[in-house]
Structure 1
Amino acid sequence: MNTTPHDMNTTPHDSTLTTADGRSALRMERRLPHPPEKVWAALTDPAALRGWFPAEVTVDLTRGGPMSFRFPGAEAGDPGTTGTVTDVEEPRLFAFTWGTDHLSWTVTPDGEGSLLTLVHTFGDRPGAASFASGWQLCVGALARLLDGAPAGTGRDRGGLHESYISRFGLDRGTAEPVGPVGPDGSEGRRVRFERQLVRPAETVWAVLSAGIEPVAGLPVPEGFTAATAPAGPVTEVRAPRSLTYAVEPHSAVTWELGEGTGHGARLVLTQTGPVNWDTDAALAAWRTRIEQLAAALVDA
């Protein structure tokens, strides 16, 4: 796909993220210099959708009508994902499920043009930056399609994604009580970060290890450490997916790189320690370390 300077703009669009009852709602707005009827056609015509939507769509444009979504490059026989039209009010509202997610597109008159509003509701809050950056590129392609220019959704190398991480506060960790952590069976505390990254696990692992492969029983490579968690012996390693190392006294750090949204790995980092452990300092140190990693991955 062609990439334009607009595609690579790292400034988020008008957008908000709210979370309630385990579900998150991403709201994005875009003003378009085209009448609602023209915007509606681009939202609902499968031929037009191919120019800007992230998946190939088939739709029965009636309330309760079935939908299907298939990503480009999917293997033959891959059924893709299904959905259902939940609302259709031409030319104002088109809403549907996509797997477990729900998308609502609203078109309202705005002077001689239209205001397009997307509300995407989903359960995976740490994936919100991937959704937001992806929709920003897609809606940018929609705008170019309506203008009669080549659409092409372009590609984010990671800067746009990371700007949404900061905007939505997805760079923050949590601290919580956990079960026994010491030899005396005393209660402990755990610091936890979950962060969507912009590169696959193999690339993340290479950046963290810097060419020094972790070995059980030996000190962990420096890239896996933080200011409050100096290098200790590796206790378990499964490259490039997980690593645990010991930190004294009675503390342990675990890095896990699982499947994520978009094209990157999902990082879950935890450190456990005794109940009187300074978790505020640990949260600050790991937040700094993960930001350093994220910045390095944008350039990787």
Structure 2
Amino acid sequence: MSESLQTRDGRSVLRMERWLKHPPEKVWRAVTESERLADWFPEKVTPELRVGGTVAYESGENGAVTDLDPPRLIAYTWGTDHLRWELHPEREGTRLVLLHTFDDRAAAASYGAGWHTCIVALDLALDGRPGVDPGVDDIALHERLVTQLGLDAGTVETGPDGWRVRHERQLTRPADGVWGALTDLAPDGADEAEHVLAHDAEEGGRVRWELVPGTGHGARLVLTHTGTGGDPQAVLEADRSRMARLLERLEAVPTGR
């Protein structure tokens, strides 16, 4: 499986590829027929196979088919997201390409880990062994994708009033567990509110940690560091270290916390 993340027209595009040993005609049925989609797709879905046709999701949401070229291409909407499935004949099998377009860039690792698991299930279903591969470590996969897709890089903005360093990270632990780890690591005198923690930093400026809604797979953490002096690039590295210490702490505490 290969994964990459791009930006197109202001939106994030996650690209995932996997070679399947089955021919495109067989894979096509698995990605378009509702009874076969049930073996691997994240929820029950029924696509109407014509451009403009309805895509009915179990959640009650409806999408629409935007592109259709059997047995090579089907694309459709899912809420504000767009899914494009391409089937390319390759080595007597099929190179499956998924392009998932969405707005929430910080969610890319969660989406990537989820689709990885789904495509593994698709491969098993094509082999006549529907189910989920017990060897998939969802947490390790998510963290690998965070690094691979550059979601741990952070951003630096500068202006007449100073600088702002920002990290937004989708986590795999629930908010209560993350909050416990944050407060354990907070310096004395840190200010606390509901899921917000703030404190001064040794390198200058003010650090603010906030837990906000994310993908539903765990807490979403936003770290914002603002100041007026010093080197914001050095601050960026210091905040990466802060985030790394938090992740180490989360690994050290029980998952139920």
* TM-based fold match above 0.5: yes
Name the CA distance, whole Å, in 2 between partners of 1:44 and 1:105. 10
Structure 1, unaligned runs of 5 or more? 1-12, 71-78, 180-186, 211-222, 225-230
Q: Does 1:171 align with 2:152?
A: yes
Per-residue deviation at 1:292? 3.0
Q: Does 1:253 align with 2:253?
A: no
Aligned to 1:228: none
Q: 1:144 to 1:94 in 2, by over 3 A?
A: same
Q: Does 1:294 align with 2:244?
A: no
Aligned-pair identity (%): 48
Aligned to 2:26: 38
Q: 1:86 to 1:298 in 2, by over 3 A?
A: farther
- Find the partner of 2:140 among 159, 167, 185: 159
Q: Does 1:110 align with 2:90?
A: yes
Per-residue deviation at 1:20? 3.1
Per-residue deviation at 1:199? 1.1
- Letter paired with 2:12: S
Structure 2, unaligned runs of 5 or more? none
Aligned to 2:190: 234
| SS of aligned partner of 1:132 | helix
Per-residue deviation at 1:177? 2.7
The CA RMSD measured in Å over matched residues stands at 2.1
- Find the partner of 2:7 among 15, 19, 34: 19
- Letter paired with 2:232: T
Q: Is the 8 A contact 1:233 1:246 kept in 2?
A: no
Partner deviation per Cα, 1:189-246 (whole Å, 9 max, x = no partner): 2111111111111111122223xxxxxxxxxxxx13xxxxxx35333421xx212224
Per-residue deviation at 1:296? 4.2
Q: 1:249 to 1:63 in 2, by over 3 A?
A: closer
Name the CA distance, whole Å, in 1 between partners of 2:71 and 2:122. 16
Q: 1:89 to 1:22 in 2, by over 3 A?
A: same
Deviates more, 1:96-105 or 1:145-154: 145-154
Matches within 5 A, 1:159-238: 159-177=140-158, 187-210=161-184, 223-224=185-186, 231=187, 233-238=189-194
Per-residue deviation at 1:249? 9.2
Q: 1:270 to 1:117 in 2, by over 3 A?
A: same
Q: Does 1:148 align with 2:160?
A: no
Per-residue deviation at 1:130? 0.8
Partner deviation per Cα, 1:148-188 (whole Å, 9 max, x = no partner): 11322656441100101111111011221357xxxxxxx22
Matches within 5 A, 1:75-154: 79-152=59-132
Q: 1:249 to 1:118 in 2, by over 3 A?
A: closer
Give 1 or 2 for the bigger CA radius of gyration: 1
TM-score by structure 1 length?
A: 0.78
- Letter paired with 1:271: H
Q: Is the 8 A contact 2:33 2:46 kept in 1?
A: no
Name the CA distance, whole Å, in 2 between partners of 1:235 and 1:208. 12
Name the CA distance, whole Å, in 1 between partners of 2:212 and 2:61. 21
More helix by percentage: 2
